[in-house]
Copies of this chain bind each other. A is one copy, B any other.
Amino acid sequence: MPTPPTTVFTATSYGVGARFSLHPMTDGFADLILTALRETDSRGLQISTDEVSTFLRGPEDDLLAYLADTIGAVARTGVHTAAHVLFSRGCPGEVECTVADGTAQAPAALTRPAPAHVQAAAHWALYPLEDSPTADHMAAIYAAIEHARDLGVLTGSEHYVTRLDGDLADVLYAVTDGWREVGTQVRHVASHLSLSLNSPTTTHSPAAGAR
Q: Which residues of A contact B (CB under 8 A)?
A: 15, 17, 19-27, 29-30, 33-34, 36-37, 48-55, 57, 70, 80, 82, 84, 86, 88, 92-95, 121-123, 125-127, 129, 138, 141-142, 145, 157-163, 190, 192, 194-196, 199-211
- Whether B209 and A122, one on each chain, are in contact in the complex, defined by CB atoms closer than 8 angstroms, is no
Q: Which residues of B contact A15 (CB under 8 A)?
A: 159
- If A80-B29, A84-B194 touch, whether A160 touches B17 (CB-CB below 8 Å) is yes
Contact of A211 among B23, B190, B208 (CB under 8 A): B23
Report, nearest first, the 9 A-B pairs whose CB atoms are least far apart.
Answer: A49-B209, A54-B209, A23-B23, A25-B29, A88-B160, A51-B121, A51-B203, A52-B196, A33-B210
By secondary structure, the A interface counts as mixed
Contact of A210 among B21, B160, B162, B207 (CB under 8 A): B21
A179 shortest CB reach to chain B, Å: 13
Contact of A27 among B27, B37, B194, B204 (CB under 8 A): B27
Q: Which residues of B contact A92 (CB under 8 A)?
A: 159
A153 shortest CB reach to chain B, Å: 14
- Whether B19 and A160, one on each chain, are in contact in the complex, defined by CB atoms closer than 8 angstroms, is yes
Contact of A86 among B20, B93, B192 (CB under 8 A): B192
Which residue of chain B has the shortest Cβ distance to A86 in the bound complex?
Answer: B160
- If A19-B123, A50-B209 touch, whether A162 touches B94 (CB-CB below 8 Å) is yes
